[in-house]
Structure formats: structure tokens, C-alpha cells
DNA sequence: CTCTGTGAAAACATTCACAGCG
DNA sequence: CGCTGTGAATGTTTTCACAGAG
């Protein structure tokens, strides 16, 4: 079921932080949490937390707070974390291999089931327990393994091409680590992470004396699309 | 010289994207660019681009556009990219080692000059050409090597402690890859990247049918600080 | 008395639209 | 013309502040 109503973009980012913190509190055996306590830990106001959570329904109990276990379940469902995500990594360089070995992905329900590399000499070698495959097998493996998300960990110049191949193969979303904007057709999800941009944001904070509460580091998608009536 | 005036947070993020794209165009030999062309490539309106750039002065030439070379120079200075950044990585696991070997950092002027790991058995081993050092040497090396930025690539539970050690040692900013919020005192820069949050944002886009133009993936800092007059 | 959910107000960010330069 | 820089208008997000539940 596609979107219900419109979620403020910044709120979407915070939902992940709520979930991360709530899961951690659940592990520690806490049963309930107030918007104030959650907000304090994450650097947000209590009102902000309540508004965000209220976007999806009424999860709280006046006077008592939110039941952590229930809230985690609800958030997981809302964020699509109740389904199984099957992921492939394209690019078996330093970053690609580090991601394949990043245990937290599996623990959180993102199963990396294939790694590809354009260099035929890499084919057959091991990366974090998976056999590296040649790009020629991408379409077949994505279909056979029912892969729905792709991670791009190749150098800048190959990235758009890889994205096109992933979309053609049938993935529904792409996490891009290459330092450029990736264009995908409507309906395909895209999130980008650029390490250099992240470090640069940090340098900016330091150089500028910025207090910056909540700077993001990198990302892109279907932009609101710079359409201008330039003509008339 | 600390901050001049206040920069819209989203604008700060875009500055990095401008710089990245402009540097790429400069390499390809282009000499000028219009706000419209730059905006189109990045998925922004021309007005947005002009507003952002105008925050720092008048760089454009009416009728002609912006001189790329000059603009790159100005942006680099604004973002603190004209100085030398000396960086250390704490944690020589998969992610830490991948970051040490990430050539783009060096090419962009972020010099990784030391790697540390809490596991004494790792000390002395090689990571991307650097000898891994024990944590006991952190304070001394940060001082001796005039390191001003630290990267945290350790598991969640050690991360805040590492951050405290880095700040005590004298770094001015921290890039955090551990999946938790890091608290630092006023005046210290902080940017966080959480791979799981990034993948989760992607899952959300896909599950929710979100068009999301420009979702960020993770970050935190001195939050506006949830202060409430709860008492009166 | 504590804590949620939520309209209404305030703050913030983006887009429009146009004067003016080259 | 084409393009910048910028006030004014619009749209979005956050904060306030309070009614009502437990």
C-alpha cells in the first residue's frame, strides 16, 4: 500500500532515530517512555517527538507515556522494517567489502545476499563470506535471489550506469556511496551517502563556528524537479 | 573567526553539493555556470542556488553566470577547505580500515595520519599504509601530529567514550559512524553517519511510496537543546 | 499531577517575480 | 536578451500552550 498522506521530510529522518533509541531502551528492559525523555536523549523537544509520532496514529497513553514495545512494533511496520529486505552490493572495493561484512545490517533485517564487481579478475574471490560475481550475472541474480535493494560502492564514473542496471534488474531502491547524484525513475527510492561531503560538513561546522543541531550529510532522489515556465 | 551570520541548515548541506559539482565541471574545462544549469544537475531551482550563494557575497555576473574557478575558490574558503585538515580514525575494523584506504579523502585535502584500535593485539599491524596504534597513544599522537578531526569507527558501546577521549585530546570535530548519538561540548563539531539509518530511510521510501526529494541519512550535534520551563 | 494530541502562532525555508547589470 | 541578487509571497516545519485522559 503506497503512501497514506504526506510526511514532513525531516520527520522521516527522525523516525529512524526514534526506532534506534527505542530498540536500545527495549533491550535494557525499559517498558515505557515519555516524549520528553525520548526527546532529551535525541536532542529534540518533547512537542516535536509527539507531533512526529502522532503523524501515524495514537500510540501514547496520557499520563503514562508510550509503551516501548508497541511503539517499536508500530514504527517497524510504518518504516517497512517488518518485511524482508534482500540486498546486493555492487563494487567489491574497500567500501563494498566493509559493507558486506557489516554485521549490523543482517541483525537489523537487511540481508546482503550478493556482491558484484566489474573487474572480472575479482570474480570468484571471497568478500565477507560471499563469492564475488561478475556484473554479467547481475540481472539474473537479482531476479533469482529476489533482491529488492542495491548498494552502489563503485567509483563515481561508473555509478549512474550501475544504478541503471540495478533498476533494470528490478530493485526498488538504491543506497549510493559514489560521490555524485544518481538519477532514477519515479517510484525508485534513492538515498546517497558521501563520506567526503560528511567530512566537509564537519569542516564547515568547525571553520564556521556553526552550532548546527542536525546537519545531514548527503542524499538525493527524485528532486521536486526544477521546472520553470521560462518560456511563456 | 567564528560565525558571521546564520546559515540555514539545509543550505549548508547544499554547499557541499555545489562544490562537488563545480569541481567536476572545472575538471571538464567549463569556465562559467548559471544558477539554472547548476540547479538542474542537482535537482534544485535556480532561485535556490542563487539564494544559497548570495548568503556569502556576490559571486555572480549578471548576464554571464558564475565563474566556476572563482566560485570554487570562494566556496572552499567558506567551507574551511582551504586549510589543512589532519584526521585520525579510531577503530580498525572493517569500516575503519575502509576509511583509511579511501583515497578520495586525501585527494580532497583530508589527511588521515593515524589509526587507533582498542584491541592491543591489533597494535603494530598495518591498515592502509598506517601502523595501527593502541588507544593509550591517542592523546600524545593527536597533539604531536596536530590532528584536528577524529573519525569514530568503533561499535556503539565504546563510541561516547572514544568521543570524550578525542575531545580531551584536542580535536575540534568528530565524524561518527557508530549507531548512536554522540554528545560533545559546545564548540566541538559533530556529524554522524549511520549506515543502518541510511538503509532504513531507503526502505521507508520504498515501503511508503515516498517521493522524498532530499532525505538526509543521519547526523547529530549540539541540539537546540530541549529546554522546558516545566517548573513554574 | 503527568503526559498525550493538537489547533494556533511563530520561525524558518523556498519560490516567485522583477529591477537592473552587461 | 540572459542572468544575478533580492524583497515579498508562499509553503513548510517547529514551537507554544492548553484541553482532556489516566
Report pLDDT digits (tens) over B22-64: 999 999 999 999 999 999 999 999 999 999 999 999 999 999 9
SS3 category, B107 = helix
The pLDDT value given to residue B33 = 98
A200 at the B interface (CB within 8 A)?
yes
**Which residues of chain A fall below pLDDT 50?**
1-3, 212-232
A132, β-bridge pairs? A115
CA separation for the pair A105, A110 (Å, rounded): 5
Q: Mind telling me how many Å the CA of B188 is from chain A's nearest CA?
A: 7
Q: Which of B81, B219, B222 sits opposite A217 (nearest CB)?
A: B219
Q: A12: left (phi > 0), else alpha (psi -120 to 50), else beta?
A: alpha
What is this structure's pTM?
A: 0.93
Which residues in chain B are closer than 8 Å to A50, comparing Cβ atoms?
A: none
Residue with cell 603494530: B124
Q: Percentage of chain B surpassing pLDDT 90?
A: 86
Confidence of residue B6 (pLDDT cuts 50, 70, 90): confident
Cβ pair A226:B80 closer than 8 A? no
**Nearest nucleotide over every DNA/RNA strand to the A11 CA, judged by C1':** D13
* Chain B residues with beta carbon closer than 8 angstroms to that of A78: 204, 208
Residues 44-83 of A with CB under 7 A from strand D: 44-45, 47-48, 50-51, 61-64
Query: Whole-number Å distance, CA A176 to C1' D22?
Result: 47
- B64: number of CA atoms within 13 Å, CB side? 8
- Cell numbers representing residue A117 in the block: 564487481
Structural domains of chain B, with CATH: 4-78 (1.10.10.10), 85-196 (3.40.50.720)
The closest CB to that of A202, out of B99, B149, B199, belongs to B149
Evaluate whether B68 touches B25 at the Cβ level (below 8 Å): yes
Contacts of B91 (CB under 8 A, 6+ apart): B116, B117, B118, B152, B153, B154, B155, B162
Instruction: For chain A, positions 80-109, list CB contacts with chain B under 8 A.
Output: 80-81, 83, 85, 87, 94-95, 97-99, 101-102, 104-105, 108
CA distance linking residue A33 with residue A74, whole number of Å: 15
Residue A212 grid cell:
548546527
pLDDT value of residue A6: 84
- Measured between CA atoms, the residue of chain B closest to residue A209 is B2
State chain B's mean pLDDT as an integer.
91
Amino acid at each position: 500500500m503506497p503512501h497514506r498522506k504526506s510526511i514532513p521530510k525531516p520527520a522521516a529522518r527522525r523516525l529512524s532515530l526514534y526506532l534506534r533509541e527505542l530498540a536500545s531502551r527495549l533491550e535494557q528492559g525499559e517498558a515505557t517512555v515519555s516524549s520528553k525523555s525520548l526527546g532529551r536523549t535525541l536532542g529534540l523537544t518533547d512537542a516535536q517527538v509527539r507531533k512526529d509520532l502522532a503523524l501515524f496514529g495514537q500510540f501514547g497513553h496520557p499520563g503514562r507515556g508510550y509503551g516501548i514495545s508497541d511503539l517499536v512494533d508500530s514504527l517497524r511496520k510504518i518504516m517497512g522494517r517488518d518485511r524482508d529486505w534482500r540486498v546486493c552490493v555492487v563494487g567489491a572495493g574497500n567500501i563494498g567489502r566493509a559493507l558486506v561484512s557489516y554485521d549490523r545490517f543482517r541483525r537489523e533485517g537487511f540481508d546482503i545476499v550478493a556482491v558484484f564487481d566489474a573487474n572480472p579478475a575479482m570474480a570468484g574471490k571471497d568478500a565477507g563470506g560471499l563469492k564475488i560475481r561478475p556484473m554479467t550475472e547481475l540481472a539474473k541474480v537479482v531476479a533469482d535471489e529476489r533482491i529488492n535493494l542495491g548498494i552502489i560502492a563503485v567509483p563515481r564514473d561508473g555509478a549512474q550506469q550501475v544504478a541503471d542496471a540495478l533498476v533494470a534488474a528490478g530493485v526498488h531502491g538504491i543506497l549510493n556511496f559514489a560521490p555524485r547524484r544518481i538519477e532514477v525513475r519515479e517510484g525508485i527510492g534513492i538515498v546517497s551517502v558521501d563520506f567526503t561531503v560528511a567530512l566537509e560538513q564537519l569542516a564547515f561546522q568547525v571553520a564556521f563556528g556553526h552550532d548546527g543541531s542536525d546537519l545531514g550529510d548527503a542524499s538525493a532522489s527524485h528532486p521536486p524537479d526544477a521546472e520553470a515556465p521560462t518560456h511563456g
